[in-house]
């Protein structure tokens, strides 16, 4: 969608582009007639392929533990994995479906004294 809007935005300045690149206005118009359709489709396909590759990659999108570089008294460098940060052990919860019907009066209050249901 963004590429479609970007192409339409660029196509709105065909006369400026034709003057800047020293080409005929008709060539620029015909280019954008095809580009407005082809470029968003190609961009969508490329984005879809990248998303598929990211889905199949392991550990992508997760925070990595930092390596702390230490220097010894002799001048030797070594790395140590840092301590876990807050949120590193976070696990996603299972999704709970949204109810299709929500009662106006909670069931525990519906049986109590002084509560009436109004039917419309």
Tell me the whole-structure pTM to 2 decimals: 0.50
Helix (H) or strand (E) holding 6: helix 2-11
| pLDDT tens-digit series, residues 50-104 | 999 988 887 777 767 778 899 989 989 998 888 777 766 667 778 788 777 766 6
Residue with tokens 């230490």: 70
| pLDDT tens-digit series, residues 7-65 | 999 999 999 999 999 999 999 999 999 999 999 999 999 999 999 998 888 777 776 77
Helix (H) or strand (E) holding 28: helix 25-56
* Phi, psi values for residue 72, rounded to 5°: -80, 175
């Amino acid at each position: 969608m963004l590429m479609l809007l970007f192409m339409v935005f660029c196509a709105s300045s065909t006369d400026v582009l034709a003057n800047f690149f020293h080409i005929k206005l008709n060539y620029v118009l015909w280019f954008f007639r095809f580009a407005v359709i082809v470029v968003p489709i190609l961009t969508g396909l490329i984005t879809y392929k990248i998303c598929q590759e990211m889905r199949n990659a392991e550990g992508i999108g997760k925070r990595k533990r930092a390596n702390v570089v230490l220097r010894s008294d002799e001048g030797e460098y070594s790395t140590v994995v840092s301590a876990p940060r807050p949120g590193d052990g976070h696990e996603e919860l299972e999704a709970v479906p949204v109810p299709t019907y929500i009662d106006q009066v909670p069931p525990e209050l519906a049986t109590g004294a002084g509560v009436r249901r109004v039917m419309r």
